Chain A
């Protein structure tokens, strides 16, 4: 069963705008991760946030985690064409990493 669910399923924005994706999960976690997948390729790890952290930054990425609401958000600032991809959140469930269904992000020129 899915642990994390991303929202929205798809998002189109103009280049230069910020993109925000959300992830909700069901059970308590040790940490939450975000991954990117370019079309037809494998997933690439973006960022990991631990359950005792509330916010984390990496370059143009900002991730927040609210364990009381069981939710996380990924913000990509100043979007570029190369950011067009699917984005997945992943949470640990027991000893497994479980992925959501992803958000498809399309950056318009």
Chain B
């Protein structure tokens, strides 16, 4: 079975802390994505990556950075957490696109609360 694993299901952090959200996939997928999901706003794309050491900004990259040192691992970093970053964070991966987008495989999500 294909698997996308997010390191923490629930996290509670304090304002100003540096937060790392880790995501690992075992499908040898080139593409990886980070979304956040908020009530009434749906899923919004934060960052994505098509290859190792490569990253692209999504629709809401402000306040976030990412790291992709290995193909299977894509990390989301909150340099200085703020309360408005309290959210559900979803990682996903997919095979390369050839003009016809493939399906995304999602992790179970990481619910972050910033106090």
Interface residues of A (CB under 8 A from B): 1-2, 30-31, 33, 35, 40-45, 48, 50, 88, 90, 92, 95-102
A residues in contact with B59, CB < 8 Å: 1, 96, 98
List the count of A-B residue pairs having beta carbons below 8 Å apart.
Answer: 61
Kindly state the interface size class of chain B when it binds its partner: 20 to 34
Contact of A97 among B40, B104, B111 (CB under 8 A): B104
Q: In the complex, given contacts A42-B106, A43-B90, what are 11 additional A-B residue pairs having Cβ atoms less than 8 angstroms apart?
A: A30-B101, A41-B109, A42-B90, A42-B92, A42-B109, A43-B92, A45-B103, A95-B50, A99-B43, A100-B42, A101-B42
A88-B103 CB under 8 A given contacts A1-B59, A41-B108, A42-B109 = no
Q: How far is the CA of A31 from the CA of B101 in the complex (A)?
A: 7
